[in-house]
Structure 1
């Protein structure tokens, strides 16, 4: 079991959000629609009868072999909730929205990479831990969920990654942005930005994306057009104190 009494850190929260949000997986069993998030235990088990009863009552959200996407992630001290295909309450196509929940903020963005064979309904799974989530990582959580979700299948986004230069592929794997990346590659590496700002310098319009918020690492990625021209990392303390993390280029 992964859970222990270790307190959730900000860096761990960010890693879980980045590593899980927008991820694709294939259902290995029938996933039921449910009015409440389906409970999944920290030891990799679940109440099969309860899930089967939910399928009979409310129907399936996905069948074995169907592609699903994590469209919202909520990280608490003792639980992680994954909304799949925008959950039950979403109106319209779930493909139009991908959400990340962190500290109460839920920015909504479009998702052009969704494959065409997605089911039209969604659900949610809550992974519960006895004391706290401990130091579990996104990779460990995917392994924990492997009895019901297969994250090893290549998605449309993974096929796109294969066409990128080696240095960009490596940066995406390391969850960082580098100069020369396009906006789509940055989203694959860091997820959706917390906010965006625009300004004009020397008659060139630039757009800066912010990832993360205090306390913890905050990354600013600046684009000219669709290409990254500058990446700046800082570590911000609560209350506004900011330390710049040195970069080889600055």
Structure 2
């Protein structure tokens, strides 16, 4: 069942999403060669609690950490560990926060030092596909419109679009209806309505779309061991149009990046 949010509830969700955004911004300068994902995880937990929220992932479905940390060929759901990051790595950091009874949940794939040009392109195209999908999240459109847009954009660059893992509705529970695949056909699936809130999150592989589930029950990697990128935003339909609740602005500020990519989706 899709849970429609009031304007007041959307503002509470924005607050939760912004705590996640600030957490990722805080981590941006700490993602560098020699840092361990376990160190970053502890920093994130402290930061979230200091901002009056609870880590959204910690204990959820028995997950043992605050962050899902997925380097290189790991797609999502990786465990933080003591292995130091290495120059040329990429790392998807997926973070959640719970405040005022509502979840925020979004992700960014960071470069560790200097990465190869083909790796940088994978990240660029994946992030661009996120906004291509968000443009289709508007009243009257359907789930398949978002999935088609993302799939078409990424496959045009010969990348693999993961099928088994999808975005989702968001609210008082982490995963609500509807599921939001990154593939699909136009005009198919549930119709979008005013007040819907979803997490749209392309998971795009440099090679095959096929993945491997590991025995720990969480870790997922690309089948061909090529790189995978992951970007995620929380989005609400307000006045019929997509409006971002999360932002990458704090990341860009920390890294000295100028961007206007979010301007069309900001609160008016």
Does TM, normalized by the shorter one, top 0.5?
A: no
- Return the TM-score normalized by structure 1: 0.29
Q: Which has the higher contact order (CA 8 A, sep 6+)?
A: 2
- Return the TM-score normalized by structure 2: 0.28
Higher strand share: 1
**Which has the larger Rg?**
1
